[in-house]
Each structure stands twice: as C-alpha cells, then as structure tokens.
Amino acid sequence: MRPVRGTASPTATWEIERPARATALPGVDMAGFRIRGDGSTELRAIPHPAVTVAVEFGDRPFDIDGAGGPVRSGSLAAGLSFSVFRIQAEAIACVQIRLSPLVAYPVLGLPLGELGAGVIGLDDLWGRDATRLRERLHQARTWPERFALIDTELLTRLHAGKVADPEVAWAWRHIVASHGRVRVRDLAAGTGWSRQRMWSRFGSQIGLAPKRVGMLVRFDQAVHRLAQGHTPAQVAADCGYSDQSHLHHEVRAFTGTPPSAAANEPWLAVDDTAWPTRGGPA
C-alpha cells in the first residue's frame, strides 16, 4: 500500500491508505484516512450509491450536519442520500467503509428505510461494540491490521443479520448494471411483483425508492465523468440525460452547485483517488 496525499484546504493534508487486496466481502470497500492541519477541517460529502460507515479511532469525534440534524459521534452511518452532508473534525483518523445496501441491511442491523437519508451515530446501532471496535483500531499499529479488524466485524454481523429479499437484491443489481436507466415497471415485471409491492419492499430495505436509486446511480456516473474532464454536453448524452440542462438541474439538486463546481469538490477529488472504480458499486 502507498499513502496518497492531497489537500482539502490550504491548511489540511490528506493521507489515504487502501487495502492491498479487495475485501473478502462482496459489496464492501474501504479506505483509511488521516487528515492533519491547523484547526478543524470541514468537508462536504456528496451523495454516493452506497451506505457510508466511518469509524474514527483518533479520539476526535465528528460533528455531522445532515438531513436529520446535527450529530456528534466517534463513528457514523449514512444512508443513501439525495443531499450533501457536512463533516467537521480536527485531526481525523478513521476508516471509511462503503457498503452496498444489500450488505448494509444485515450489517447495520436494521432496514435501511429506518435509516433513511440521515446520518446516525454507529454507537446508536451497535452499542458498546462500536466503542470496542474504535479501541481496537486505535491500538492497531498498521493499516492492514485495521482493515482486517473491519473485515472481521462486518463478516460476523453479515452472517448474523437478516438479508434482503431476493427480488430486492435482483432489482438493486439491475439498476446498478443499467447505470440507473431502468423503469420500475420493468423491475416489477422481472420479479413478478406488483409495482406497489416493488416500491414498498425496495424502499424499506434499500432506503430509497427504485426510481430515486436510479437517479442516484446515474448522477454518480455523471459527476465522476465530469471530474475526469468530460464536457457537460458529452456527459449528458452518454449518461442518459435528455439534454445538458437536465444534467445541470440534477447535479445542482444533488450537490447544491453547478456541474463545474461539483466536479472540483474536495471530497470527490479524494473519492477519485481513494476509491478507484472496480466495476461500480456492487
């Protein structure tokens, strides 16, 4: 592994570590972060089609300002979201985990519809287990040790948790494979469910309705293309938007900024470095 450095602000320096190999769990990816600088660092985390879990092990809790209101915690879980949430902390040291909703459902121990688009302290979900995990991460001397601890914790919870309906899992994978360009009626037909049942069961277990998940997956593809330097006109055509104005409208809806600004988000820049694409979200 090799640390990658970047800057979120003139006074903050990022150190990023990635596991040397993919995790043994499908639908799980992670990275380790240390952010050093004078004073606190504030980041805007833009929407992504995965459930985000961050476990801080440097004794500096996060202050999070999300859709559900302010949260202060040494760890957090953020559901699939349509809006930016802000994270503020000093001298961050954490492991950030991205979970496919199909994995997050059993791992977090609740249907993601209950988590919704909000951010919640992991202590509220895992109790003292979250504290013990932070302590073990703090005591670990290397990033490989920390990634192995996370792997073990997730695997234990995955095996003990309740899995999503096979029809919901199939619909999620179909939405991702189509880059968000699939109709709810086609998903319902593929599962044999009614549209109403598909909407209800999918939303309860994944956290967003199928149509909104499709929009999120399409946005994620588009904003990364913008960050790679593709023109808005080209991105709009390639990602299935009706025109450039449609792309502009959706990017602003997700990020609160126009495409040109969204493509230069510090968090997105780190995303592009720390989370290289492995075929998209599992």
**Residues of the chain under the 50 pLDDT cut:** 1-8, 278-282
Which pLDDT score, from 0 to 100, does residue 73 have? 74
Which pLDDT score, from 0 to 100, does residue 62 have? 76
At 138-160, the pLDDT tens digits run 999 999 999 999 999 999 999 99
34-62 burial string, b = 16+ CB within 10 Å, else e? Answer: bbebeeebebbbbbbbbbbbbbbbbeebb
Which pLDDT score, from 0 to 100, does residue 63 have? 77
Both tokens assigned to 204: 């309860």
Q: Which SS3 state, helix, strand or coil, does residue 170 take?
A: helix
Which pLDDT score, from 0 to 100, does residue 249 have? 95
Q: 93: buried, middle or exposed (CB in 10 Å: 19+, 13-18, 0-12)?
A: buried
CA distance linking residue 118 with residue 116, whole number of Å: 5
- Amino acid letter, residue 153: E
Instruction: Please name each of the domains of the chain with its CATH number.
Output: 4-160 (2.60.120.10), 166-274 (1.10.10.60)
For 146, other C-beta atoms within 10 Å of its C-beta total 25
pTM of the model: 0.86
Nearest to 206 by CA among 68, 74, 106, 96: 106
CA distance linking residue 149 with residue 32, whole number of Å: 13
Which pLDDT score, from 0 to 100, does residue 277 have? 53
Which pLDDT score, from 0 to 100, does residue 121 have? 85
Q: Give the contacts of 82 (CB within 8 A, at least 6 positions apart).
A: 47, 117, 208, 212, 215, 216, 253, 254
Which pLDDT score, from 0 to 100, does residue 5 have? 39
Q: In this structure, is the dihedral angle defined by the CA atoms of residues 204, 205, 210 and 216, taken in order, positive or negative?
A: positive
Both tokens assigned to 205: 């277990």
CA distance linking residue 129 with residue 132, whole number of Å: 5
Nearest to 191 by CA among 201, 203, 205: 201
